[in-house]
């Protein structure tokens, strides 16, 4: 179990999460504004899609800065950070729609 924990680099993982979250804020708000202009019949699903797109953008930008390339590190920390962005979009964006 110790070698797995060493591969995760939890301090760098927290940096990864904060980096992806900060890089995903602007795209999430932009997608939220686009979502507001549309006539969504399911705001929750639209918010999930907008959150996924914003998380993908933030992760794609952060990956060029990340010094770790271990598969376990990427799988765990990028997944956690993307799920946090999608969750934040799910909580925030449906309240911004006018439908």
Q: Is pLDDT of 59 > 80? A: yes
Note every long-range contact of 10-17, with CB atoms under 8 Å and residues 24 or more positions apart, other chains counting: 12/67, 12/68, 12/73, 12/77, 13/73, 13/76, 13/77, 13/80, 16/62, 16/66, 16/68, 16/77, 16/78, 16/81, 17/77, 17/80, 17/81, 17/84
At 98 the pLDDT is 66
Q: What are phi and psi of 38, to 5 degrees?
A: -85, 175
pLDDT band at 72 (very low <50, low <70, confident <90, very high): confident
Please provide the average confidence, as pLDDT, over all residues in the chain: 89
At 45 the pLDDT is 93
Q: Is pLDDT of 1 > 70? A: no
From CA 99, how far away is CA 21, in angstroms rounded?
27
Q: Is pLDDT of 96 > 70? A: yes
């Amino acid at each position: 179990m110790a070698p797995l924990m060493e591969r995760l680099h939890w301090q760098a993982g927290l940096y990864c999460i904060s980096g992806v979250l900060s890089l995903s804020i602007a795209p999430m708000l932009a997608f939220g504004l686009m979502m507001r202009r549309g006539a969504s019949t399911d705001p929750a699903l639209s918010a999930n899609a907008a959150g996924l797109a914003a998380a993908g953008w933030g992760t794609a930008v952060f990956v060029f800065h990340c010094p770790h390339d271990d598969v376990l590190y990427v799988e765990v920390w990028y997944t956690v950070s993307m799920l946090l962005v999608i969750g934040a979009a799910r909580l925030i964006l449906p309240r911004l729609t006018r439908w």
